[in-house]
Every structure is written in C-alpha cells, then in structure tokens.
Amino acid sequence: MAFEKNILCIGAGYVGGPTMAMIAYKCPQYRVTAVDINPERINQWNSDQLPIYEPGLDKVVQACRGKNLFFDTDLEQGIKEADIIFVSVNTPTKTFGAGSGMAADLQYWEKTARQIRDYAESPKIVVEKSTLPVKTSLAMERILTNDSDQIYFDVLSNPEFLAEGTAIHDLEEPDRVLIGSHETESGLEARETLVEIYANWVPREKIITTNLWSSELSKLAANAFLAQRISSINAISALCEKTEADVSEVARAIGMDSRVGVKFLRAGVGFGGSCFKKDILNLVYLCRSYGLNEVADYWEGVVRINDYQKDRFVLSMLNAMFNTLAGKKICLFGFAFKADTGDTRESPGIFIARELAEEKAELVITDPEALSNARIDLADLGEQVDYVEDPYEAAEGSHAVAILTEWGLYRDLDYERIYASMVKPAFLFDGRNVADHQRLFEMGFNVFPIGKAPLTHY
C-alpha cells in the first residue's frame, strides 16, 4: 500500500515512542518511523518487552508495529524518505561549562539538526517536539539553511504535554495540541500540514496555533505553573504540620474555588521526573540571560521549596526515630517518581535513599516497575541497599516503612501482616498520603503523614 505521508521521529524515548505509536494507530494512511541512536532501545521497541512501562502502550504498538509503525536505527534512510521529521531527543540540564546546572544541554538536539541537513535530499517540515529554550527554532533554522544546496526546511514547534503513566490517554485525548510556526505563507502552510495530522483524532478546537516563540515559551511556562502548584501546597504542608491543620482539607478547600481547580494540589515528598526541575531551571537561566533577575528568583523558589520538602521528609524520619537511623532497616515503598511508570529520573526516592544511607540506615527498596532503574541509580551504595519485589518480604524486620510513590497497591496492602513482621516501635512515613492513617495507628504503627499531625503511641 502506498502511504499518504512518511513521518519520521528522531529519538524513540518516553515521548518519541508513544507519540509516534499514537499517530500510527490513529492514521493508518501514514507510514511512521521512530529512529534512535541507541540500538538496544530500538531492539526493545521491536520486541515484546518495550523499553518503557506505560499503561496501554503495548496494545497500541502491537496494533500497528510492522504495518505502518517502524522502529529503526537507520537515521540516514529515515531522513531521506521523510516528509515530516519530529525531533524528540533528550534536552537535559547542562552539566558543564557556561550555564552548568541550569541551562538546557542542546548537544543532542543540535547534532540532529546537522544530520537532517546532511542527509536530506528534498524539502522537509521539521517539528520540534523536545522541550527547548525560547528561540531555539531560530538556531535550528540557521543550521538547516547553512548549506549551499539550499533545500528548504520549515521549522515548527509542537511541544508535548503528555505525563508519564497516563501518556496513552494524554495522547489520545489531549487537553490541547499546540503548534507554533512563522506567520509567513510557507510557515502557515507547514502549520496546516501538522494540524491535518492531529485532526485525524483531535477535535479542531483543541488544536491551537501560535507564533513560534509563544509555543516554545508556553511549554516551559506550563511545566513551571504545574510544578509551582506542587511547591505551593508542599510549602503549606509544612505550616499544617506546625498548626494541626490538615493539608488534604486545606487543598480541598482551595481547589474547590473554580478559579484554582482541584488538580495538582497533592502534597507529597516533592515532585520528581525528568522535566519539571530541568524546565524550571531552563526558564530561570533564560530570565537571567535577559536580565530579569526578579522573575528568575521567583521561579527558582519553586525548585528551592521542592528541595526543602525532600530534606524535611528525611529530617522528620530522623527526629521521629530518636535521632538515629544507624543500623536500622528502613523499607522504601516505591522508587518511581510517580505511580504507573518505571521511570526514576529525578525521583525524590533517589535523594531520600541517599540521605538515609548517609545516616547509615540499611535500605530495602520495593517497587512494582522501577527496581531495575533503582539498581542503576543507587549502584554506588552497593550492599547498603536491597531490592525486593514483594512488599511484604521487603518490609519484614524493618524499623520503618516510608511510602514514596503513590502506587494503588500500597493503599490496599495487608498492613496488619506488615506490622506483625516489623521491629517495634514500628514507624510508617506516608510521603504520599495514600494509606488509611487512623487504621494504621490503631494497628500499632506510629504514623507520620505529610501536612497532617502525626499519630503516635508515645
């Protein structure tokens, strides 16, 4: 069958893989290929063991892989054949040189732009899917057009708003799709081509179009706003613990104001994930580079509160457990940065485990999907950490259990059984406020939620 369009995505990670799978699933008339420089990742995409855990992803991939969805390592061929190229490579925080620890590291992204320029033999639409500093598309255009061949490229910005754990739902029914372009004749034409792709399954009124810079900035700002809500409620949780107010009650009261809304007001151990911190720091760096120091300070505060929240959690464990954790066995329930993913990038669990290890605690980590990543993240802690799939086995003989990820599973465990197997006094630190605290207290646990008075037997 002849396909209407050839779509290529460079970078088959958490975004590129699921996004291309969804386009292929919804648009059998297009041939969709995702390429990656990591051959192991591509092998996994072509196997039954996909490289990422994402509810519903298997079904979507199985429905179209080998028909109109392909995973490959041949970047050159992919570029030559493509009409539209999405670029979804990683843009982590820079760890060297100017802007180290703040700015986005654009080396992977720039390499991709050069590869497109070197291999393309016909005009292409190039779509920025990665999250990038404002004005990056200008740099991309300069790289793409800096050649004697003068092949014409249109650059669009189409940031991704999916969240891990709900990626398939977010892609299938997005709140909005954002497409930024130049407002020139050719830019508007390219924009319409991309609108047409999404319009195969997304209602037109949810596909919004802007100029390039608004689109790039909206992505950074959207993540900053979301993270800011979490830091706001986490800051209030600290005050709740001092005043006997209950953060869940406060969040409910705030969120019912329709101007605020109920989502993203769950207090916890702090936000993790590959993007919030990186994107806020990127925004902060951008503001500073334009001399907007007050604006930069404001957003930097969101990250500071997040660090404070993680610190506070460990200090409250130390205080509660008589100011010493040395030699005590502590079991961490959950290591993924949120439920329904195996991803541990920037997970609060990494920081908390390291702090507890500093205190010479012995750690046991359990998680239904993230243990292989946890082993890599904490490899240097060696024997000090055990990784155990079964939560009952993991908690056995421990002085404390700390819930770090809100997996549904941790709500419904047989806590009587867990309590019976623990050293007494037994402590439970609920970093996600998921357990039934009163019931646990009645069983005998000393319970320390976030943003609520502790329930203790002493």
Residues at the interface with ligand NAD (CB under 6 A): 10-16, 35-38, 41, 75, 88-91, 108, 111-112, 130-131, 160, 162, 164, 274-275
Comparing C-alpha atoms, which of 10, 99, 18 is closest to residue 52?
18
Q: Which of ligand UGA, ligand NAD, none does residue 271 bind to, with CB < 5 to 8 Å depending on kind?
A: ligand UGA
- In this complex, which beta carbon is closest to ligand NAD, that of residue 248 or of residue 341? 341
- In this complex, which beta carbon is closest to ligand UGA, that of residue 52 or of residue 194? 52
> Reduced to 3 states, what is the DSSP secondary structure of residue 210?
strand
Cα separation, 57 vs 172, in Å, equals 11
- Bridge partners (DSSP) of residue 331 are 364, 401
> Reduced to 3 states, what is the DSSP secondary structure of residue 447?
strand
- In this complex, which beta carbon is closest to ligand NAD, that of residue 130 or of residue 366? 130
Q: Which of ligand NAD, ligand UGA, none does residue 337 bind to, with CB < 5 to 8 Å depending on kind?
A: ligand UGA
Q: Which of ligand NAD, ligand UGA, none does residue 272 bind to, with CB < 5 to 8 Å depending on kind?
A: ligand UGA
In this structure, what are the phi and psi dihedrals at residue 49, rounded to the nearest 5 degrees? -105, 85
Contact 208, 411 (CB under 8 A): no
CB of 283 to ligand NAD, least distance (A): 12
CB of 189 to ligand NAD, least distance (A): 26
Comparing C-alpha atoms, which of 102, 99, 451, 160 is closest to residue 303?
102
Q: Which of ligand UGA, ligand NAD, none does residue 36 bind to, with CB < 5 to 8 Å depending on kind?
A: ligand NAD
| DSSP secondary structure of 305-330 | HHHHHHHHHHHHHHHHTTT--TT-EE
CB of 218 to ligand UGA, least distance (A): 11
Q: Which of ligand NAD, ligand UGA, none does residue 18 bind to, with CB < 5 to 8 Å depending on kind?
A: none
Cα pseudo-dihedral 202, 205, 210, 214, rounded to 10: -80
H/E segment holding residue 357: helix 348-358
Comparing C-alpha atoms, which of 15, 380, 431, 378 is closest to residue 237?
431
- In this complex, which beta carbon is closest to ligand UGA, that of residue 34 or of residue 325? 34
The active-site residue, picked from 27, 64, 275, 287, is 275
CB of 168 to ligand NAD, least distance (A): 12
Q: Which of ligand NAD, ligand UGA, none does residue 130 bind to, with CB < 5 to 8 Å depending on kind?
A: ligand NAD
Burial of 288 (0-12, 13-18, 19+ CB in 10 A): middle
Residue 334 Ramachandran class (φ > 0 left, ψ -120 to 50 alpha, else beta):
left
Active-site residue flag, 9: no
Two structure tokens written together for 346: 């920037």
Footprint of ligand UGA on this chain (CB under 6 A)? 131, 160-164, 223, 226, 230, 264-266, 268, 271-273, 275-276, 337-338
Cα separation, 151 vs 257, in Å, equals 53
CB of 138 to ligand NAD, least distance (A): 17
Q: Which of ligand NAD, ligand UGA, none does residue 57 bind to, with CB < 5 to 8 Å depending on kind?
A: none
- In this complex, which beta carbon is closest to ligand UGA, that of residue 31 or of residue 266? 266
> Reduced to 3 states, what is the DSSP secondary structure of residue 85?
strand
CB of 319 to ligand UGA, least distance (A): 22
- In this complex, which beta carbon is closest to ligand UGA, that of residue 255 or of residue 444? 255
In this structure, what are the phi and psi dihedrals at residue 446, rounded to the nearest 5 degrees? -90, 120
Cα separation, 389 vs 406, in Å, equals 16
Distances from the Cα of 149 to the Cα of 38, 139, 323, angstroms: 30, 18, 69
- In this complex, which beta carbon is closest to ligand NAD, that of residue 116 or of residue 320? 116
Cα separation, 237 vs 224, in Å, equals 20
CB of 28 to ligand NAD, least distance (A): 24
Residues classed as catalytic: 275
